[in-house]
Chains A and B, each alone.
Chain A
Amino acid sequence: MFRGMQWRVTAWFMLIIIVGMGALGGYLTVSVRNVQLTNLKSDLRSEAVLMAAQALPYLDGTQDPAGLEALVKSLGTQTATRFTIIRRDGTVVADSDEDPALMSNHANRPEVVEAIAGGTGEATRLSATLGEQLIYIAVPVTSGDTTLGVARVALPSTRVDAYVGRSITTILIALAVIAVAVIVAAWLTTRYMTRPVRELTAAARRLAAGEFEVPLAQSAPDESGQLARAFNEMAVQLRSTVDELTEDRARLTAILDNMADGIITTDADGAITLANRAAGDLLGFRPERAARRPMIESVRDYELTEVLQRSLSSRRPEEIQFESSATGRFVRAIAIGGERSSGPLILLQDLTEVRALQTMRREIVGNISHDFRTPLAGIKAMVDTLQDGAIDDHDAALDFLTRIQDEVARLTHMVAELTELSRIETGRTGLEWSQVDLNALVRETLVQMAPQAERQQLTMTPDLAADLPAVPADAERLRQLIINLLHNAVKFNRPGGSITVTTRLEGDAVTLAVADTGLGIPRRDLPRIFERFYMGDRSRTGQGSGMGLAIAKHIVEAHGGSIAVTSTEGKGSTFIIRLPRSRPGA
């Protein structure tokens, strides 16, 4: 508190005033004393002259010298002053305070010597008679030109001092009052003067805390007003700068958060400074919690830590591909060398799909060659047999040819499916939209599939909703889809089993379910059965291209619908198709 500017200024004022007043007091004391002393001495001299005039008749013999004693004593008591009358030879004739007979010869007293010489004698000394400090003034008692003696007046100097002291006390009190008044005035003035500084300090603090609305009163015409104006301008500038920065940051954050690739920035120690949402999703951590923590504590992946360390030491871009243990995603991480002040920036790309696609492509090639090899091998064997002479056996040759024809038909069908699938997948097929009566379509397809079902002793039961509205669809493709599902239901059923086809209206969609009582699908195969060429171990033993369900899925999705499957191993499977009642995008 006492360190404030106001206090310091006041303290300086106090010092100056105390020193100044002290000097003034000292000076005044000395000069007042001198003046007083001079006045006193001149008064005493007047008294001495009067005394001399009074004493003259007694000394020149006109009156009895004995009367002088009484006169001196009386005057001395009245004026509280000591009077002494001394003859020219130095003998004391009368004294107001003492018995003259007891007093020594005064001829050699300095004031007496001077007075006898004709002047006014003056001295200050200890009185041998009274034992105190006295001021003496002596004048000659003259009759004509003859000096008869000396009239001397004496006053104790303590009385002089008391006299002078009173004046000085008055002066000092006045000075003290003035000093206090000046100090208070100084305190108030500095308080007033430093107010703008205090206000500025408070405003600067609020500004630092991010409060930009702190206008200072800037009306004062002096320097403080200028300072306030400058400060207000600065606040406005600062505000716009901060706004710009905030906006930039928001834009950057928006970009980062909407990027498909993950970004992690690090500091020179390899701790995370910033991570975007994609990075968090890819590696299974929460970006908002990662900041300022070592990489491994947030992104718990040692391979990423490794690439970061490598890049930190090599100061060059480093790359790694790894599978995240937290999310199972396959990630490519590129650490791009950091600047001096910061660590590397890590770019993360999700390669999971790419890798899955690569794997799938490998599988497809394997599957296709396998699926084509079997019928081709059959055809080749049968052709060989025919060449080796079977052609002459009419019945056998006919049988072989029929079987060759079947195999060729199968190959043709596979090629057609493959073509269809690739066409659907690249989106090059347009659908022929019309309002389709799903129940009618089911009945037709059931009739169509009846011979196959009978061969396996299967019963096919339609369970059709009576009030089923028509749905917008491509009738031909929908027929193909239902046949596909029925075909599977027949193929994977057990002899004597059943197939139930159900249609229902469910809100703004119609559903079609094909349930069989077959072998069911193992749980591990369920997620993959709609993939191209995916075949469970069981379907691999029979015939099939592995494309049926993939095509089914594409057809349903082209209609804006969905396909799902539930299955219990050993009990059967149910495929459920949902088709929306309104055309997608229409």
Chain B
Amino acid sequence: MEIRTAFHKALREIQDEVVVMGNMVEKALLRSVTSLKERDLKLAREVIEGDLKINEKRYAIEDKCIQLIATQQPMAGDLRAIIGLLNIITEIERIGDHAEGIAKIAVLNGDEPPVKPLIDIPRMADLVVDMLHRSLDALITRDADLAKEIADRDDRVDELYDQVFDELLELMTKDPSIITRATRLIWATHNLERSADRVTNICERIVYMVTGTMEETNISNY
């Protein structure tokens, strides 16, 4: 019994680290979009540098998971929980990379005026960050229903993606001189869309951790 308690304490500590890492990525995403919107190069460079810390965090967590498996040899649900966390940090780290990608676009854009006011892109970022935040809520509370509900909100992000894509395409058709800058914005939007997909992956993992069954919650168009 004592061993079980020690195991669950260690598991919870790792899970808390995962939540910390999740918040690091939440902030990275918000900051990357702010840097893009406000042409804040200093902030963009901070996000790019910050991604190193996120990657380090990921490896640190991975290491702890492996050590826990090696020393405690968990079975069934416990093993599923650790493997679940290992998968989740991979997804979170990739979202961090998407944030870095957006920040790099902000650096590329430099001080150039935007091709259009950035309204829908920050809105997309807010949606993705909210999804990520709540998916970690679902992880903490082991709430499979919440996880499924979050995954369903991916549609809203896809809608915004289509909207921005069409809008930018139209602008480019009208004025070919903005093609470079508009294409960069499409990249940024794509990064956000991919991030949302990765959140749905996280949600699927949480459902698996809780119920033991793998469910494809959302078939994305992209």
Contact = CB atoms under 8 A, between A and B. Distances in A.
B23 A297 contact: no
The residue in B16, B21, B136 that gathers the most chain A C-beta atoms within 10 A of its C-beta is B16
B16 A302 contact: no
Contacts of B129: 325
Nearest to B18: A296
A301 B22 CA distance: 9
A325 B129 CA distance: 9
The residue in A297, A325, A522, A523 that gathers the most chain B C-beta atoms within 10 A of its C-beta is A325
A523 B24 CA distance: 31
Contacts of B140: 297
Given A300-B133, A325-B27, A524-B117, 13 more contacts: A294-B12, A296-B19, A296-B20, A300-B19, A300-B136, A301-B23, A302-B20, A302-B23, A302-B24, A303-B27, A325-B30, A325-B129, A325-B133
B119 A297 contact: no
A319 interface: no
Contacts of B19: 296-297, 300
A526 B19 CA distance: 36
A253 to B, nearest CB: 27
B204 interface: no
Contacts of A305: 20
Nearest to A522: B117
A296 B16 contact: yes
Given A300-B133, A326-B133, A523-B119, A294 B16 contact: yes
B100 interface: no
B62 interface: no
B119 A325 contact: no
A303 B133 CA distance: 15
22 contacts: A294-B16, A296-B19, A296-B23, A297-B16, A297-B19, A297-B140, A300-B19, A300-B22, A300-B26, A300-B133, A300-B136, A301-B23, A302-B20, A302-B23, A302-B27, A303-B27, A325-B23, A325-B26, A325-B27, A325-B129, A523-B119, A524-B117
A152 B214 CA distance: 115
Interface string A289-328: 0000010110011110100000000000000000101100
A523 B123 CA distance: 14
Given A296-B16, A325-B129, A524 B119 contact: yes
Interface in A260-300: 294, 296-297, 300
Contacts of A296: 16, 19-20, 23
Contacts of B16: 294, 296-297
Nearest to A298: B140
A297 B138 CA distance: 11
Nearest to B139: A297
Contacts of A297: 16, 19, 140
Contacts of B21: 302
Contacts of A325: 23, 26-27, 30, 129, 133
Contacts of A301: 23
A303 B23 CA distance: 9
The residue in A296, A303, A305 that gathers the most chain B C-beta atoms within 10 A of its C-beta is A296
A325 B34 CA distance: 12
Nearest to A301: B23
Interface in A509-560: 522-524
Nearest to B15: A297
Contacts of B24: 302
A323 B23 contact: no
Nearest to B23: A302
B14 to A, nearest CB: 12
| Leading 8 A-B pairs by shortest Cβ distance | A302-B23, A302-B20, A325-B26, A296-B19, A325-B27, A302-B24, A296-B16, A294-B16
A302 B133 CA distance: 12
Contacts of A326: 133
A474 B119 CA distance: 40
B138 to A, nearest CB: 12
B172 to A, nearest CB: 21
A300 B18 CA distance: 11
B102 to A, nearest CB: 16
A326 B136 CA distance: 13
Interface in B113-150: 117, 119, 129, 133, 136, 140
B89 to A, nearest CB: 14
